[in-house]
Amino acid sequence: MMSAMEAQDRGPLICVSPNVQLGQNVKLANFVNLYGCAVGDNTKVGAFVEIQKNSTVGKNCKISSHSFICEGVTIEDGVFIGHGVMFINDSFPRATKVDGQLQTEADWKVERTVIKQRASIGSGATILSNISVGENALVGAGSVVTKDVPANAVVAGNPARILRYLKSEDNER
């Protein structure tokens, strides 16, 4: 297992806080920002990716460049995340409280999102909070996922809608 300190030893182009758990053979591109998260064995994280605290990325995943994985996201094993994918963890974000004071972490509750094994999320997709994307599901590029995606479903659009289901031979690749 690569420690966060070993990742930091690669130089100032990688920001990995000491509380990050990195599995074996994790590959980190330059300009990543990881804190308080866990990344599983053999996972590849592209440039300009941020993975926040209390998020988990499984084994053998590929997280492409410019993606944002916020607090409360769980990505299971073998998942592909395309370029520029955004996850949301708050259905009603606000900067301030009613009295005008800036909100703090105490003023909101993290809403969880789960991406199941071998799912693929296309580039530029936005995944709203409280969503589950099923095993082997495929989310088309640019989609806005507003509700759960069943296992083996192919979805696309804004909002994402089911186009079809993958056949078992499609999942063998």
Active site residues: 66
Backbone phi, then psi, for 106, in 5-degree steps? -70, -15
Alpha-carbon distances of 28 from 4, 8, 37, 139, rounded to whole Å: 11, 11, 14, 24
Determine the length of the chain: 173
79 and 120 in contact (C-beta within 8 Å)?
yes
Backbone phi, then psi, for 5, in 5-degree steps? -65, -40
Distance CA 35, CA 117 (A): 23
Q: Output b/e per residue, 108-121; b: 16+ Cβ within 10 A.
A: eebbbbbbbbbbbb
* The dihedral formed by the CA atoms of 88, 150, 85 and 74, expressed in degrees to the nearest 10: 60
